[in-house]
Amino acid sequence: MASKSTPANVHLDGAQIEQVQEFKYLGSVVQEKKVASSTDVHGRIGQAIAAFVSLKWCLWKRANISVKTKIHLFWTLILPILLYGSETWILLKQDLNKLEVFQMRCLRQILSISLCDRIRNETIRIRCDHQPTVVEVVQLRRLRWFRHICRMSITRTPYQLLWRKCPTEWKVQRAAPKKTWSKQIEEDLKKRRSTLCDAKAIAMDREAWKSVLSEVRNPAAPIAAYGLWRKPRPIVG
Protein backbone atom coordinates (compact mmCIF):
# COMPACT_ATOMS: atom_id res chain seq x y z
CA MET A 1 0.00 0.00 0.00
CA ALA A 2 1.45 3.38 -1.02
CA SER A 3 0.45 6.75 -2.38
CA LYS A 4 -0.24 7.16 -6.09
CA SER A 5 2.94 9.18 -6.58
CA THR A 6 5.17 6.56 -4.99
CA PRO A 7 4.09 3.05 -6.02
CA ALA A 8 5.40 0.29 -3.79
CA ASN A 9 7.44 -2.55 -5.25
CA VAL A 10 7.61 -5.16 -2.51
CA HIS A 11 8.66 -8.72 -3.29
CA LEU A 12 8.29 -11.83 -1.15
CA ASP A 13 9.72 -15.20 -2.17
CA GLY A 14 10.32 -13.87 -5.66
CA ALA A 15 6.73 -12.68 -6.19
CA GLN A 16 5.58 -9.06 -6.15
CA ILE A 17 2.98 -8.24 -3.51
CA GLU A 18 -0.18 -6.66 -4.84
CA GLN A 19 -0.64 -2.98 -4.02
CA VAL A 20 -4.06 -2.21 -2.52
CA GLN A 21 -5.76 0.83 -1.04
CA GLU A 22 -6.87 -0.99 2.10
CA PHE A 23 -6.53 -4.31 3.91
CA LYS A 24 -7.48 -5.84 7.25
CA TYR A 25 -4.80 -6.56 9.84
CA LEU A 26 -5.51 -7.97 13.31
CA GLY A 27 -9.18 -7.08 12.99
CA SER A 28 -8.60 -3.44 11.98
CA VAL A 29 -8.77 -1.90 8.52
CA VAL A 30 -5.56 -0.27 7.30
CA GLN A 31 -6.30 2.31 4.61
CA GLU A 32 -4.18 4.41 2.27
CA LYS A 33 -6.13 7.55 3.14
CA LYS A 34 -7.53 6.93 6.59
CA VAL A 35 -8.97 10.04 8.23
CA ALA A 36 -10.65 8.30 11.17
CA SER A 37 -11.75 4.90 12.48
CA SER A 38 -15.24 5.04 10.95
CA THR A 39 -14.70 1.87 8.91
CA ASP A 40 -13.60 -0.06 12.01
CA VAL A 41 -16.53 1.28 14.04
CA HIS A 42 -19.04 0.29 11.35
CA GLY A 43 -17.62 -3.23 11.16
CA ARG A 44 -17.49 -3.66 14.93
CA ILE A 45 -21.11 -2.53 15.35
CA GLY A 46 -22.20 -5.01 12.68
CA GLN A 47 -20.46 -7.91 14.43
CA ALA A 48 -21.78 -6.85 17.84
CA ILE A 49 -25.35 -6.66 16.48
CA ALA A 50 -25.05 -10.18 15.09
CA ALA A 51 -23.80 -11.48 18.45
CA PHE A 52 -26.53 -9.67 20.39
CA VAL A 53 -29.33 -10.89 18.11
CA SER A 54 -28.09 -14.49 18.31
CA LEU A 55 -28.73 -14.41 22.07
CA LYS A 56 -32.09 -12.64 21.90
CA TRP A 57 -34.43 -15.54 22.72
CA CYS A 58 -32.09 -17.68 24.79
CA LEU A 59 -30.92 -14.82 27.03
CA TRP A 60 -32.23 -11.27 26.63
CA LYS A 61 -35.92 -12.25 26.41
CA ARG A 62 -35.77 -14.81 29.21
CA ALA A 63 -37.87 -13.56 32.13
CA ASN A 64 -36.25 -16.01 34.57
CA ILE A 65 -32.83 -14.38 34.16
CA SER A 66 -32.19 -11.27 36.25
CA VAL A 67 -31.30 -7.93 34.70
CA LYS A 68 -28.05 -7.92 36.67
CA THR A 69 -27.01 -11.22 35.09
CA LYS A 70 -27.99 -10.00 31.62
CA ILE A 71 -25.93 -6.83 32.06
CA HIS A 72 -22.94 -8.85 33.23
CA LEU A 73 -23.21 -11.07 30.15
CA PHE A 74 -23.64 -8.00 27.94
CA TRP A 75 -20.30 -6.68 29.20
CA THR A 76 -18.70 -10.11 28.94
CA LEU A 77 -20.00 -11.23 25.54
CA ILE A 78 -21.03 -8.18 23.51
CA LEU A 79 -18.89 -5.22 24.57
CA PRO A 80 -15.57 -6.99 23.85
CA ILE A 81 -16.76 -7.56 20.27
CA LEU A 82 -17.90 -3.96 19.90
CA LEU A 83 -14.80 -2.34 21.39
CA TYR A 84 -12.07 -4.65 20.08
CA GLY A 85 -9.14 -2.44 19.15
CA SER A 86 -10.86 0.72 20.41
CA GLU A 87 -7.66 1.74 22.22
CA THR A 88 -6.32 2.94 18.87
CA TRP A 89 -9.51 4.46 17.47
CA ILE A 90 -9.69 8.04 16.25
CA LEU A 91 -13.38 8.84 16.52
CA LEU A 92 -15.52 11.43 14.81
CA LYS A 93 -18.73 12.75 16.33
CA GLN A 94 -20.87 10.52 14.11
CA ASP A 95 -18.85 7.48 15.21
CA LEU A 96 -19.51 8.27 18.87
CA ASN A 97 -23.22 8.69 18.15
CA LYS A 98 -23.40 5.29 16.41
CA LEU A 99 -21.71 3.56 19.34
CA GLU A 100 -24.03 5.29 21.80
CA VAL A 101 -27.13 4.35 19.80
CA PHE A 102 -26.07 0.69 19.70
CA GLN A 103 -25.50 0.55 23.45
CA MET A 104 -28.84 2.14 24.30
CA ARG A 105 -30.76 -0.12 21.91
CA CYS A 106 -29.23 -3.15 23.61
CA LEU A 107 -29.98 -1.88 27.11
CA ARG A 108 -33.58 -1.07 26.17
CA GLN A 109 -34.08 -4.58 24.81
CA ILE A 110 -32.62 -6.07 27.98
CA LEU A 111 -35.16 -4.07 30.02
CA SER A 112 -37.96 -4.66 27.46
CA ILE A 113 -38.41 -0.91 27.06
CA SER A 114 -39.19 0.68 23.69
CA LEU A 115 -38.67 4.22 22.46
CA CYS A 116 -42.43 4.72 22.70
CA ASP A 117 -42.13 4.47 26.48
CA ARG A 118 -40.27 7.82 26.39
CA ILE A 119 -37.76 6.94 29.10
CA ARG A 120 -34.51 8.90 29.11
CA ASN A 121 -31.16 7.24 28.44
CA GLU A 122 -29.87 8.27 31.86
CA THR A 123 -32.76 6.45 33.51
CA ILE A 124 -32.07 3.37 31.39
CA ARG A 125 -28.42 3.31 32.53
CA ILE A 126 -29.44 3.63 36.18
CA ARG A 127 -31.84 0.72 35.86
CA CYS A 128 -29.02 -1.28 34.24
CA ASP A 129 -26.76 -1.07 37.29
CA HIS A 130 -25.50 2.46 36.49
CA GLN A 131 -23.95 1.65 33.15
CA PRO A 132 -21.33 4.09 31.81
CA THR A 133 -21.57 5.40 28.27
CA VAL A 134 -19.59 3.77 25.49
CA VAL A 135 -17.77 7.08 25.03
CA GLU A 136 -16.48 6.90 28.61
CA VAL A 137 -15.35 3.31 28.20
CA VAL A 138 -13.50 4.04 24.94
CA GLN A 139 -11.73 7.01 26.53
CA LEU A 140 -10.64 4.91 29.48
CA ARG A 141 -9.36 2.10 27.27
CA ARG A 142 -7.46 4.62 25.17
CA LEU A 143 -5.87 6.25 28.20
CA ARG A 144 -4.97 2.87 29.65
CA TRP A 145 -3.10 2.03 26.43
CA PHE A 146 -1.43 5.46 26.55
CA ARG A 147 -0.10 4.63 30.02
CA HIS A 148 1.27 1.31 28.80
CA ILE A 149 3.14 3.09 26.00
CA CYS A 150 4.57 5.65 28.42
CA ARG A 151 5.95 2.83 30.57
CA MET A 152 7.60 1.07 27.64
CA SER A 153 11.30 1.18 26.87
CA ILE A 154 12.34 4.12 24.69
CA THR A 155 13.56 1.59 22.12
CA ARG A 156 10.05 0.21 21.56
CA THR A 157 8.32 1.26 18.33
CA PRO A 158 5.02 2.41 19.96
CA TYR A 159 6.97 4.67 22.33
CA GLN A 160 9.02 6.16 19.51
CA LEU A 161 5.96 6.76 17.34
CA LEU A 162 4.08 8.53 20.14
CA TRP A 163 6.93 10.80 21.21
CA ARG A 164 8.59 11.38 17.85
CA LYS A 165 9.30 14.93 16.71
CA CYS A 166 8.80 15.57 13.03
CA PRO A 167 11.50 17.62 11.25
CA THR A 168 10.53 21.25 10.81
CA GLU A 169 10.96 21.01 7.04
CA TRP A 170 8.26 18.35 6.77
CA LYS A 171 4.93 19.50 5.35
CA VAL A 172 1.56 17.92 6.03
CA GLN A 173 0.14 16.41 2.86
CA ARG A 174 -3.32 17.36 1.72
CA ALA A 175 -4.62 13.81 2.17
CA ALA A 176 -3.14 13.41 5.66
CA PRO A 177 -5.54 12.71 8.58
CA LYS A 178 -6.78 15.85 10.32
CA LYS A 179 -6.59 14.15 13.71
CA THR A 180 -3.88 11.77 14.86
CA TRP A 181 -4.02 9.37 17.79
CA SER A 182 -1.82 11.65 19.88
CA LYS A 183 -4.23 14.53 19.17
CA GLN A 184 -7.08 12.29 20.30
CA ILE A 185 -5.22 11.60 23.54
CA GLU A 186 -4.61 15.32 24.01
CA GLU A 187 -8.37 15.89 23.80
CA ASP A 188 -9.00 13.15 26.37
CA LEU A 189 -6.41 14.64 28.73
CA LYS A 190 -7.59 18.21 28.21
CA LYS A 191 -10.93 17.26 29.75
CA ARG A 192 -8.93 16.24 32.82
CA ARG A 193 -6.91 19.46 32.83
CA SER A 194 -3.73 17.63 31.87
CA THR A 195 -1.24 17.59 28.99
CA LEU A 196 0.70 14.84 27.24
CA CYS A 197 3.91 15.65 29.09
CA ASP A 198 2.19 15.88 32.48
CA ALA A 199 0.35 12.62 31.86
CA LYS A 200 3.59 10.93 30.84
CA ALA A 201 5.06 11.68 34.26
CA ILE A 202 1.89 10.71 36.11
CA ALA A 203 1.72 7.41 34.19
CA MET A 204 4.72 6.13 36.14
CA ASP A 205 2.68 6.33 39.37
CA ARG A 206 -0.22 3.87 39.32
CA GLU A 207 -2.13 5.49 42.19
CA ALA A 208 -1.78 8.97 40.68
CA TRP A 209 -2.93 7.62 37.33
CA LYS A 210 -6.10 6.27 38.93
CA SER A 211 -7.03 9.81 39.90
CA VAL A 212 -6.71 10.90 36.27
CA LEU A 213 -9.02 8.14 35.08
CA SER A 214 -11.51 8.65 37.91
CA GLU A 215 -12.48 12.02 36.45
CA VAL A 216 -14.01 10.37 33.40
CA ARG A 217 -15.34 7.25 35.10
CA ASN A 218 -18.94 7.48 36.23
CA PRO A 219 -18.67 7.48 40.06
CA ALA A 220 -21.80 5.38 40.38
CA ALA A 221 -20.70 2.72 37.89
CA PRO A 222 -19.22 -0.52 39.20
CA ILE A 223 -15.45 -0.52 38.83
CA ALA A 224 -15.45 -4.13 37.66
CA ALA A 225 -17.57 -3.15 34.66
CA TYR A 226 -14.75 -1.09 33.21
CA GLY A 227 -12.16 -3.79 33.69
CA LEU A 228 -9.49 -1.14 34.27
CA TRP A 229 -8.18 -1.83 37.74
CA ARG A 230 -6.65 -5.21 36.99
CA LYS A 231 -3.19 -5.87 38.31
CA PRO A 232 -0.78 -4.53 35.67
CA ARG A 233 1.50 -6.97 33.94
CA PRO A 234 5.19 -6.02 33.83
CA ILE A 235 6.26 -4.56 30.51
CA VAL A 236 9.46 -5.97 29.14
CA GLY A 237 11.57 -3.50 27.22
Contact call for residues 151 and 202 (beta carbons, < 8 A): no
Q: Which residues contact 43 (CB under 8 A, 6 or more apart)?
A: 29
Ranges of each domain in the chain: 23-131, 137-165+178-226
Strand partners, 220: none
Give the pLDDT confidence score for residue 178 in this predicted structure. 67
Give the pLDDT confidence score for residue 237 in this predicted structure. 41
Single pTM value for the model: 0.76
Give the pLDDT confidence score for residue 123 in this predicted structure. 92
Burial string for 8-47 (b: 16+ CB within 10 Å, else e) reads: eeeeeeeeeeeeeeeeeeeebbebeebebbbbbbebbbee
Ramachandran quadrant class, 102 (left: phi over 0; alpha: psi -120 to 50; beta: rest):
alpha
To the nearest 10 degrees (0 to 180), the angle between helices 134-150 and 93-111 is 120
Give the pLDDT confidence score for residue 116 in this predicted structure. 87
Q: Which residues contact 48 (CB under 8 A, 6 or more apart)?
A: 78, 79, 81, 82, 102
DSSP letter assigned to residue 176: S
3-state secondary structure 93-150: HHHHHHHHHHHHHHHHHHHCCCHHHCCCHHHHHHHCCCCCCHHHHHHHHHHHHHHHHH
Give the pLDDT confidence score for residue 221 in this predicted structure. 44
Q: Is the dihedral of CA 95, 96, 101, 104 positive or negative?
A: positive
Over its length of 237 residues, how does the chain's per-residue pLDDT go in tens digits?
555 556 667 777 888 888 777 777 777 777 666 666 888 899 999 999 999 999 999 999 999 999 999 999 999 999 999 999 999 888 888 999 999 999 999 999 999 998 888 899 999 999 988 888 898 899 999 999 999 999 999 899 888 888 887 666 666 666 556 678 888 898 888 877 788 888 888 888 888 888 777 766 544 444 344 343 344 444 444
Give the pLDDT confidence score for residue 196 in this predicted structure. 85
Under DSSP, is residue 76 helix (H, G, I), strand (E, B) or coil?
A: helix
DSSP letter assigned to residue 163: S
